[in-house]
Amino acid sequence: MLQFQLWKKLLVAVVLLGGVVYALPNLVNGQAASILPGEKINLGLDLRGGSHLLLRVDIDAVRQERLDTIADTIRQEFRGAKIRFSGLDLRDNSVVVKLRDASDADAAQSIINGLGQGVSLTRDNDIYRIAFNDAGMMEMQTQTVQQSIEIIRRRLDPKGTKEPVIQRQGLDRVLVQLPGVDDPEAVKRLLGRTAKLTFQLVDSRMTAAEAIDRGRTPPGTALLRSASDYGRSYVVEKRVMVSGEMLDSASAGIDQNNRPAVNFALNTVGARKFGKVTGDNIGRPFAIVLDGKVVSAPVIQSQIFGSGQITGDFTVAETNELALILRAGALPAPLIVMEERSIGPGLGADSVAAGEIAAVIGLVLVAAYMVASYGLFGALADVALVANIVLIIAALSALQATLTLPGIAGIVLTMGMAVDANVLIFERIREELARGRSVLAAIDGGYQRALSTIVDSNLTTLFAALFLYIFGSGPIKGFAVTLAIGIVTSLFTAVMVTRLLIILWVERKRASKIIL
């Protein structure tokens, strides 16, 4: 006997009402949209326009920096262990050092082995060569790209509301898509600075002029240029006393001369180290180094804890930008722009219009076919099809999924798939009627016999959409999301909505005969 319990009727009514409520913000604007619980669908880069950047993470720079650190560690450890050495240098992506006394080989081996599992050692008599092995390079590459993606996200979306597309491509590349952002130069400015902030003591044993004349600096030091005065340089110790990782906050402000500056505050660990360094080195210049250039080198007048100020030849806009990137954190490696595209909103509007036309044509053709093939039941299936489209739009709005052009293609494809289940059911009902069964028995038997086939076919397509989402990227994911949502909603409308409409019609008309 054909039955449709009350709780099922309530379920259908609640789902359809919720779908209408969440889909409405896409049709209304202004105050009416603000009082509704849902939000408009996020449009992707191809529909809304925006900026597209393909970046390469400079892994070679990271390796060079790590090798510098290893060389500095070896220098300090060898000196601490009183191991005599010479020729400590970086050559061919490795650290090379020569022992002066062969009796120090065991002690040197022990120190080098303590550098970690990511490095390998080759030895040629008294010359040691330390380099990163394959496993160490792979770990460095993965870690650097992941950190870069997180820092990029913090810089481009500090409040977490813009939802940019930031994802890894290949081994060392990052794809960045910013819907609605039509100024790629501003994006490149934000991402073009590593924003590595360090505090290092200025070495007083040799002036910059002497270092330039001699062509070298004392061991453990480096010659750095000034960020504002390009004719000036500083000899600073390579050892980083306090790093930007210890920053707790950074904000734009003004200095004592009413010039733009950046105020910063350190966390507990940073404040303790900053206080110790400034307390032990009163009277010495303390260089503030940003991306390898000295912003300023004030003389330490007294012990300082917790906070300070970065001054220089800044504009107000530059201080705001610098404060933002310092809050977001330093990039672990420079980013190189490999590809840049800017998509205008006009092109996106054309894509939306084309998608709407395709959707309308698809809907009209499917609806006409259903009515021509199944008459009244086909018309009821068309009503369920409209409900299916409303539910898809509502789901995209509720999930705040990003709709792209392939996503629109997924919706159009779903329109055809949505009536597949109804076609199966109606054909089963035809078979039952041909056997001479009554209207109620034919409808009931048609739904029962077609249900397993409908579930199987939709599950296989759902699995395909799931794998597309897991292994795909960018537009492929957008297509997979809309396809998966369409499968779920079409299954619901075919099995529940169309069946409810047919039952209501049969109960009202008390039909003893139907034509399919």
Q: What is the pLDDT of residues 309-366, one digit of tens each?
A: 877 777 887 788 778 777 777 778 888 888 887 776 665 667 677 777 887 888 888 8
Write down the pLDDT at residue 244. Answer: 78
Question: Span 4-19, mean pLDDT?
Answer: 85
Tell me if domain 60-137 and domain 193-341 are identical in fold: yes
> Helices (DSSP H) in 281-333: which residue ranges?
316-328
pLDDT digit string, tens, across residues 94-142: 988 888 888 888 888 888 888 878 888 888 888 888 899 888 899 889 9
Gap between the Cα atoms of 240 and 262, Å rounded: 20
| Average pLDDT rounded to a whole number, residues 506-514 | 71
Q: Which residues fall within 8 angstroms of residue 480, CB to CB, at 6 or more apart?
A: 410, 465, 466, 468, 469, 472
Tokens in use for 408? 């629109």
Rg over alpha carbons for the chain, rounded to the nearest Å, is: 34
HSE toward the beta carbon, residue 116, CA cutoff 13 A = 15
Tell me whether strands 233-237 and 221-225 are parallel, antiparallel or unpaired: antiparallel
CATH topology of domain 6-49+346-509: Multidrug efflux transporter AcrB transmembrane fold (1.20.1640)
At the topology level, CATH places domain 60-137 in Gyrase A; domain 2 (3.30.1360)
pTM > 0.85: no
Of residues 277 and 512, more confidently modeled? 277
Please say if the pLDDT value at position 381 is more than 60.
Answer: yes
pLDDT of residue 296: 82
Per residue in 281-310, pLDDT tens?
898 988 888 888 888 888 888 888 877 787
pLDDT of residue 160: 57
- pLDDT at position 56: 92
Burial classification of residue 394, based on how many CB atoms lie within 10 Å of its CB (0-12 exposed, 13-18 middle, 19 or more buried): buried
Q: For 102, how many CA atoms within 13 A lie in the half-sphere containing its CB?
A: 4
pLDDT in tens, 215-230: 888 888 889 988 877 7
Residue 33 has pLDDT above 60, yes or no: no
pLDDT score at 236: 92
- Counting every residue written for the chain, the total comes to 516
- Terminal Cα-to-Cα distance of the chain (whole angstroms): 20
- Residue 57 near residue 333, CB atoms below 8 Å: yes
Task: Quote the CA–CA distance of 72 and 86 in Å, as a whole number.
Answer: 13
Q: At what angle do helices 345-399 and 405-418 cross, to 10 degrees?
A: 50
Does domain 193-341 fall under CATH 3.40.50.2300? My reply is no
Q: Under a CB-based contact definition with an 8 Å cutoff, are residues 41 and 352 in contact?
A: no
Beta bridge partners of 201: 286
For the chain, give every domain's residue range: 6-49+346-509, 60-137, 193-341
**Could you tell me where the DSSP H helices lie in 313-438?**
316-328, 345-399, 405-418, 420-434
